[in-house]
A and B are shown apart, each in its own frame.
Chain A
Amino acid sequence: MILKKLLSILLLIFCVQFSLAQKTVANIDSLLVVLYTSKNDTTKVILYQEIAAHYNITHLDSAKAFAEKGIVLARSLNFTKGQWMNLNVLGNYYERKTNYEEASVKYEEALLIIENTNDTKGFAVVLNNIATIHIRKAEYDEALNNLFNALKAEEKLNSQNGIAQAYNNIGVVYYYIQDFDKTTMYLTKALEIQENLGNYDGLINGYNNVGAILDYQKKYDDAITSYERGLEISKKINDKKMEATQLSNIALAYSNKGDFNKAEDFFEQAIAIKIQIKDDNGLAASYASFGESLLNQNQLSKAKEILNKGLEISDVKGIKLAKKLIYASLSEIAKKQNDYKLSNEYLTKFIQVKDSILNENNAKIIAEVETKYETEKKENEILQQRAQLAEKELEVKQKNYIIFGSLGLAIVLALLGYLVYNQQRLKNRQLQKENDLKTALARIETQNKLQEERLRISRDLHDNIGSQLTFIISSIDNLKYGFKDMGDKLSNKLVGISSFTTQTIYELRDTIWAMNKNNITFEDLQTRITNFIDNAKMASEQTKFTFKIDEVVNKENTFSSVQGMNIYRIIQEAVNNSIKYAKSSEVKVMISENNGFHIEITDDGIGFAEDQVELGNGINNMKKRARDLNASFAISSSVKKGTAITVVIPEKAI
């Protein structure tokens, strides 16, 4: 009994969705005006399709002409999309007219065009509609195969509406093959999407199907509420067929609830609309349900009458599902009327129809199809995951390449910098060393040249002039010995010349000595002055010579050879002047140190008046030498009081 009730519900929820065929146009009249005024182009083809789709819902008989015109125009324009769209609408028309064979032909024609144009959306739409025909004909294995293919196409397009339609229709097929868990799953999925999209067409189906499940669960009031929502939307969009379906379902719910009066009222409303719109399939289903309801009320004759009407339509149109339910009810009626033979005949026919609808092979194929779909879906998911993983790996690899590349480059640059720096440092060190050596070489070259020059001059002076002077001395000595009878005056004169020449040799030697020296120490100077004073003493025995050096004088002081020579010459000149011109009895040479060297040469000779005497070369030479020394030179003398010469060499000049 439960199974029978369930089958009745299944029949009533048979409301498979038609893609691209259930939209109505708000203002059909203006659309018709546009159609008749427009040129024969692709826009007109689309207009034919839209108008035909509208009439498929509102005035079924008018739809065919528009769809056919659309096909003809599309062919003449070679507009393939227009062709398959109008063929699809024409298929909808035949489906609604319960002419499933013709509907199949139109859908197959449309599918052939789509396959040549690779239109994924069209593929999904037409496959869905072909599946609908298979459902009508209770060919569920083929229906499922087509629906899963349509679902794949919709998923590829990410068309939420299309996916929802496919889920809904798959749910319906499972409903028919009595797999209620899967039915609930697919219908819930469809309803969730339709609610999210706010899609009226889909919502009608959703409410209808949810109502059917509630009805099956004996929650009749909830089922009626759900159906009524579907009914309300059907009326709103003026979908007569769906309106009739909702009415029929409400009637069945009331019948199941035991409220037969209301049930009868709703059945009659549904049947009236189905007759009006010539929905034979729906009509057969409504007759089957109404007959069953009457059977439950034990109104056997009326039930039989109604069921026979349904059986007639089912036979003509080949509606197996309705036929199966009707045979079951007729068998029950015959049984109640104690006509067991007839009951058995109806039961046999029921089993035959049932077997033709559902057999083991069908179930197997369906399971295979579903498994295939699920496997493909999972494979796709795995492939997508792999692709994502590969993409992430690639990203990580790219990042690693950048990081390691930059790091390596930085290391190479650092190494290059270090090597260049090191090389430059080495070059600098080498250059420094080379420069030092070059400087040393220049210095030593200069020194060498100086030495060479000194040697040359020394050689010239001594070996040439010195030997000549020595020759003069030897010649004078020879004269003295050769002419022993010469007078004292001449002899003294010759001795004087000899002494002068000897002195000249000494001075020449002093010059060479000074020239060859880089530096002269104070001690050297002291020795030379002492030497000179000693000679002076011998030259002028009647004169007293004093040479005194103050104790504070630092003996470590050094002079340049020129300075030493100038000091020596000043002293020599001053002493010579005292001996030669001043007729002094005493000559003093004093050297002291107090912020520089103080040299003082004094005598007690005849002196001279500074303003009356013209100074000779000797004094001027002394002044010049003092200037060369950056020293001050002072001479003070007065008649018969001697002469004093003072030279002060400042400390900084030494």
Chain B
Amino acid sequence: MSYFIVFYTIVSVGLFLYFIKIKSSIVTQHSRKILSLEQEISMHKTQIKFRYKGLQKYNFQIYNLNDSLRVQSEIKLN
């Protein structure tokens, strides 16, 4: 009876520890992948921000509107 308890306890604890080790390894590997992906995304976001600023320079609607304003050359009084 006690032999059974000892045997199965050892087997259970062994299995438990083995799976904890595997889980730890999986979590570490995953964290590494996630970090790498997040870094890449972050890099792209930064680039997009910079490029957006660059593109804002070419928002010519403002220019066009400004250009469409005409200085009145002469004043006509009724």
The chain A residues found within 8 Å of chain B, CB to CB, are 400-401, 404-405, 408-409, 411-412, 415-416, 419, 422-423, 426-427, 430, 433-434, 437-438, 440-441, 444-445, 447-448, 451-452, 454-455, 458-459, 462, 502, 506, 509-510, 512-513, 516, 524, 527-528, 531, 534-535, 538
Contact A405 B26 (CB under 8 A): no
CA distance A421 to B66 in the complex (A): 67
Do B15 and A516 touch across chains, with their CB atoms under 8 A apart? no
Q: Is the CB of A455 within 8 A of B15?
A: no
Contact indicator A444/B23 (Cβ below 8 Å): no
Chain A at the B interface: SS class: helix
The 5 lowest CB-CB distance pairs between A and B, nearest first, are A509-B60, A408-B8, A451-B51, A437-B37, A419-B19
CA distance A405 to B45 in the complex (A): 60
The answer to whether B58 touches A440, judged by C-beta atoms less than 8 angstroms apart, is: no
Known: A419-B16, A419-B19. A455 touches B55 (CB 8 A): yes
Residues of B within 8 A of A408 (CB): 4-5, 7-8
- B36, closest chain A residue (CB): A437
Give B42-66 as 1s and 0s: 1 = Cβ < 8 Å from A's Cβ atoms: 0011011001101100111101110
* Given A408-B7, A441-B44, A458 contacting B61 (CB threshold 8 A): no
> Is the CB–CB distance between A426 and B68 below 8 Å?
no
- Chain A neighbourhood of B15, CB < 8 A: 412, 415-416, 419
* CB neighbours of A419 from chain B (8 A): 15-16, 19
- Contact: A458 with B55, CB < 8 Å? yes
Q: Are B1 and A400 in contact (CB under 8 A)?
A: yes
Which residue on chain B has the smallest CB distance to residue A458? Answer: B58
Q: Say yes or no: B40 contacts A441, CB within 8 Å.
A: yes
A405-B52 Cα distance, complex, nearest whole Å: 70
How distant is the Cα of A513 from the Cα of B26 in the complex, in angstroms? 49
Question: In chain B, residues 1-49, which have Cβ atoms closer than 8 Å to a Cβ of chain A?
Answer: 1, 4-5, 7-8, 11-12, 15-16, 19, 22-23, 26-27, 30, 33-34, 37-38, 40-41, 44-45, 47-48
Once the chains are docked, how many angstroms separate the CA of A280 from the CA of B61?
158
**Which residues of A have CB within 8 Å of B58?**
458-459, 462, 512-513, 516
Is A534 within 8 A of B37, CB to CB?
no
Number of inter-chain CB pairs below 8 Å? 108
Interface residue from B8, B11, B48, B64 paired with A451 (Cβ < 8 Å) = B48
Asked if B68 contacts A534 (CB within 8 A), the reply is yes
Cα–Cα, bound, A54→B56 (Å)? 139
Q: Which residue of A lies closest to B46 (CB)?
A: A448
B67 at the interface (CB under 8 A from A): yes
Given the complex of chains A and B, what is the CA–CA distance between A259 and B8 in angstroms?
A: 90
* Main DSSP-derived SS at the B contact region: helix
Establish whether residues A426 and B26, one from each chain, have CB atoms under 8 Å apart when the complex forms: yes
Contacts of A512 in B (CB 8 A): 58, 60
Instruction: Please tell me if B76 contacts chain A, counting CB pairs below 8 Å.
Output: no
Q: Which residue of A lies closest to B4 (CB)?
A: A404
Residues of chain B within 8 A of A441, CB atoms compared: 37, 40-41, 44
Whether the pair A440, B26 counts as a contact (CB closer than 8 A) is no
A599 CA / B68 CA spacing, docked (Å): 24
Which residues of B are found within 8 Å of A404, using beta-carbon distances? 1, 4
Give complex CA distance A437, B40 in Å: 10
Q: How many residues of B contact A (CB 8 A)?
A: 39
Further 14 A-B residue pairs, CB within 8 A, beyond A454-B55, A513-B61: A400-B1, A422-B19, A423-B23, A434-B33, A437-B38, A441-B37, A441-B41, A444-B48, A454-B51, A462-B60, A512-B58, A527-B65, A531-B65, A538-B70
Q: How far is the CA of A321 from the CA of B61 in the complex (A)?
A: 155
Contact of B22 among A423, A445, A528, A531 (CB under 8 A): A423
Contact B44 A434, beta carbon cutoff 8 Å: no
**A444 pairs with B26, CB closer than 8 A:** no
Q: How far is the CB of A403 from chain B (nearest CB, A)?
A: 10
| A527 → chain B closest CB, angstroms | 7
Residue in B4, B41, B64 with the greatest tally of chain A CB atoms within 10 Å: B64
Max chain B CB contacts within 10 Å: which of A458, A510, A535? A458
Question: How far apart are the CA atoms of A42 and B51 in the complex, in Å?
Answer: 121
Q: Is there contact, CB below 8 Å, between A427 and B41?
A: no
Chain A residues with CB under 8 A of B8? 408-409, 411-412
A405 to B8, CA, bound (A): 9
Q: Given the known A-B contacts A430-B30, A513-B58, are A531 and B68 also in contact in the complex, defined by CB atoms under 8 Å?
A: yes
Q: How many angstroms from the CA of A454 to the CA of B19 in the assembled complex?
A: 51
Indicate if the CB atoms of A438 and B4 lie closer than 8 Å. Answer: no
Chain B residues in 8 Å Cβ range of A411? 8, 12
* Chain A nearest CB, measured from B23 CB (Å): 6
Is the pair A516, B41 in contact by a Cβ cutoff of 8 Å? no
With A411-B12, A510-B60 known to touch, is A423 a contact of B55 (CB < 8 Å)?
no
Contact assessment for A437 and B51 in the assembled complex, using a CB-CB cutoff below 8 Å: no
Can you identify 9 A-B contacts, CB atoms within 8 angstroms? A415-B12, A423-B26, A426-B26, A433-B34, A437-B41, A452-B51, A458-B58, A512-B58, A513-B59
The CA of A423 and the CA of B26, in the complex, are separated in Å by 9
The answer to whether B44 and A506 touch across the interface, beta carbons within 8 angstroms, is no
A343 to chain B, nearest CB (A): 84
B residues near A430, Cβ cutoff 8 Å: 26-27, 30
Instruction: Please report the C-alpha to C-alpha distance between residue A416 and residue B14 in the assembled complex, in whole angstroms.
Output: 11
- Chain A nearest CB from B10 CB (Å) reads 10
A445 and B40 CA atoms in complex are apart in Å by 9
Instruction: Assess whether B55 is in contact with A447, with CB atoms less than 8 Å apart.
Output: no
A448 and B47 within 8 A (CB): yes
Task: Tell me whether A451 and B52 are in contact in the complex, defined as CB-CB below 8 angstroms, given that A412-B8, A415-B12, A513-B61 are known contacts.
Answer: yes
Report B-chain residues with C-beta under 8 Å of the C-beta of A440: 41
Shortest distance between the CB of B37 and any CB in chain A (Å): 4
Q: Which residues from chain A contact B27 at a C-beta distance below 8 Å?
A: 426, 430
Out of B34, B45, B52, B64, name the residue touching A510 (CB < 8 Å): B64
Q: Which residue of B lies closest to A511 (CB)?
A: B60
Asked whether A423 and B19 contact (CB < 8 A) given A411-B12, A531-B65, the answer is yes
Chain B nearest CB, measured from A413 CB (Å): 10
Q: How far is the CB of A146 from chain B (nearest CB, A)?
A: 51
CB nearest to A405 among chain B residues: B4
Chain A residues with CB below 8 A from B65, complex form: 527, 531
**With A415-B15, A448-B48, A535-B68 in contact, do A528 and B54 touch (Cβ < 8 Å)?**
no
